[in-house]
A and B are shown apart, each in its own frame.
Chain A
Amino acid sequence: RKEVEQDPGPFNVPEGATVAFNCTYSNSASQSFFWYRQDCRKEPKLLMSVYSSGNEDGRFTAQLNRASQYISLLIRDSKLSDSATYLCVVNEVGWGALIFGKGTTLSVSS
């Protein structure tokens, strides 16, 4: 079983749509959780950290359910510029190694 599993993509949505990505992780000892965004042929960039209480950054909302070992990312009012690959990431025992999911590709069209 893969350590971090994400929805298979790609997601193709029109501008203005709401889209949700889901992710599960296998190690219950995982301590920190993130969503990274990666544009084509570029490095991953931190989109947001994910907390049990849920957190929101503008059009982006992330949720964590530790009991179900489940992480989600909701994007509202999608923009063309949101087109990218979204990577679900966990950090085990807080010592540095980030465990990445395979990524889900989002394509927003006009």
Chain B
Amino acid sequence: ETGVTQSPTHLIKTRGQQVTLRCSSQSGHNTVSWYQQALGQGPQFIFQYYREEENGRGNFPPRFSGLQFPNYSSELNVNALELDDSALYLCASRLAGEGETQYFGPGTRLLVL
């Protein structure tokens, strides 16, 4: 296994609510990325954190935000949930400067009703 864990595994929310998803990276990995995978699509890059700072962002609105903590854990927060936010959310961690292999967690499946 990759050593990357995510919680919760599944979540149901309603439109307008807020959600926080959590990721625990491999020990020592200082970079974490979050991806959104809608049904039938490939994962789409949301943003990346390096040493607790966001250092790259995909085409996602500001209501998608994140945090990275010194203990290699991170959060993805989504405010004002919309129906189209229903997807599998994946985090991936790596050690910057040690190749480009990213290790994915099992994902959180979010359903917005």
Contacts and interface: CB of A to CB of B under 8 A. Distances in A.
B94 interface: yes
Given A96-B48, A100-B42, A100-B43, A46 B101 contact: yes
B104 A43 contact: yes
A42 B90 contact: no
Given A43-B90, A97-B33, A97-B58, A102 B104 contact: no
Interface stretch (A53-61, A67-75, A87-95): A87-95
Contacts of A43: 2, 90, 104-107
A42 B106 contact: yes
Size bracket of the A interface: 20 to 34
Nearest to B41: A102
A97 B48 contact: yes
A42 to B, nearest CB: 7
Interface in B64-87: none
Interface of A: 4, 32, 41-46, 87, 91, 94-103
11 contacts: A43-B104, A43-B105, A44-B43, A44-B104, A95-B55, A96-B48, A96-B96, A97-B33, A97-B58, A100-B43, A100-B44
